[in-house]
Structure 1
Amino acid sequence: MSKADQQQAVQHFLDLFKDVATREGISVSPREKNKLTLIELGLTAKIRTSIIMNLTTDDYVCGPEPDLNRKGEVWVFGTAIQTIEIYIKIKVAEYTPLDSTKSVRQAVCISFHPAEEPLQYPLKS
């Protein structure tokens, strides 16, 4: 895939994610690492949401990759906060509620914590 095609695919995902997040909010995985990151960096959940909503193709690291824990694909992005590189794994989950026959989309943040190793940004300008 050419860099231009990859950039277009990433932008398409970000547009979809942000559209779903704007309508439904972002569901954040309640992992301890994610909670500690907010505390250690003095961030609020609202600031975390703002950081995620402002991701661009420059912040892209990799994806789509299969979600190893649930159906669907995950995308990885990174950004610096107070000189700390943050690893952000997000997806648009699709499921059918028990009381419905229609499928529903949900913006999900699986990971939001310091990167365990330096991240590579293949689309960074």
Structure 2
Amino acid sequence: MATIASPQDIETVLEKSQRHIDNDTIHFEERYKNMNFLNSNGISIDDALYYVYDLIYQDYFNGPTQERNTSFAQGDMWEFGISGLISPDEVYVKLKELLHVDSMICLSFHKAERPIIYPYRT
């Protein structure tokens, strides 16, 4: 079952992501799927982080969930969607808030593979 955070908790993590973008302490994961999406839509990593910066709590749909793979740094995963701003497709965004260091990772930024249901959109 999906974990649904409160609007206040979502806004807190989004404020953290904005601070990390401002301080250049967010890492954009250059996975094939992410980079292929960026390249095919003519946007840079900085552009992608601009869209992350502008996320609002209504763009949220899941989290926090914990990292399941113990070979990676432990952290909380937060999932968001962006509709109609970048491409006709919905964009899936996954942020990871690292637990033991003051940093964040944008793990996913690509076309959503399934429809996103937003708990705070009417």
Alignment of 1:53-68 (within 5 A): 53-68=53-68
Percent sequence identity over aligned pairs? 29
Q: Name which of structure 1's ranges 20-29 and 61-70 shifts more when overlaid on structure 2.
A: 20-29
Instruction: Note the aligned Cα RMSD (angstroms).
Output: 1.7
Query: Whose strand proportion is higher, 1 or 2?
Result: 1
Contact 2:14 / 2:56 at 8 angstroms: preserved in 1?
yes
Indicate the SS of the match to 2:37.
helix
One-letter amino acid of the structure 2 residue matched with residue 76 of structure 1? E
Q: Name which of structure 1's ranges 109-118 and 19-28 shifts more when overlaid on structure 2.
A: 19-28
Give the Cα separation in 1 of the matches to 2:46 and 2:21: 13
- Taking structure 2 as the reference length, what is the TM-score of the superposition? 0.84
One-letter amino acid of the structure 1 residue matched with residue 89 of structure 2? I
Displacement of 1:24: 2.7
Map Cα deviations across residues 35-59 of structure 1 (whole Å, 9 max, x no partner): 1001111111221110011000010
- Taking structure 1 as the reference length, what is the TM-score of the superposition? 0.82
Match of 1:107 among 99, 104, 109: 104
Indicate the SS of the match to 2:90.
strand
Contact 2:21 / 2:49 at 8 angstroms: preserved in 1?
no
Contact 1:57 / 1:124 at 8 angstroms: preserved in 2?
no
Counterpart in the other structure of 1:76: 79
Indicate the SS of the match to 1:10.
helix
Give the Cα separation in 2 of the matches to 1:90 and 1:37: 17
Counterpart in the other structure of 1:26: 26
- Indicate the structure (1 or 2) with the bigger Cα radius of gyration: 1
Counterpart in the other structure of 2:8: 8
Unmatched runs of 5 consecutive residues or more in structure 2: none
Map Cα deviations across residues 16-40 of structure 1 (whole Å, 9 max, x no partner): 2211221134211121000100111
Give the Cα separation in 2 of the matches to 1:20 and 1:49: 10
Number of residue pairs aligned between Structure 1 and Structure 2? 114
One-letter amino acid of the structure 2 residue matched with residue 78 of structure 1? G
Query: Whose helix proportion is higher, 1 or 2?
Result: 1
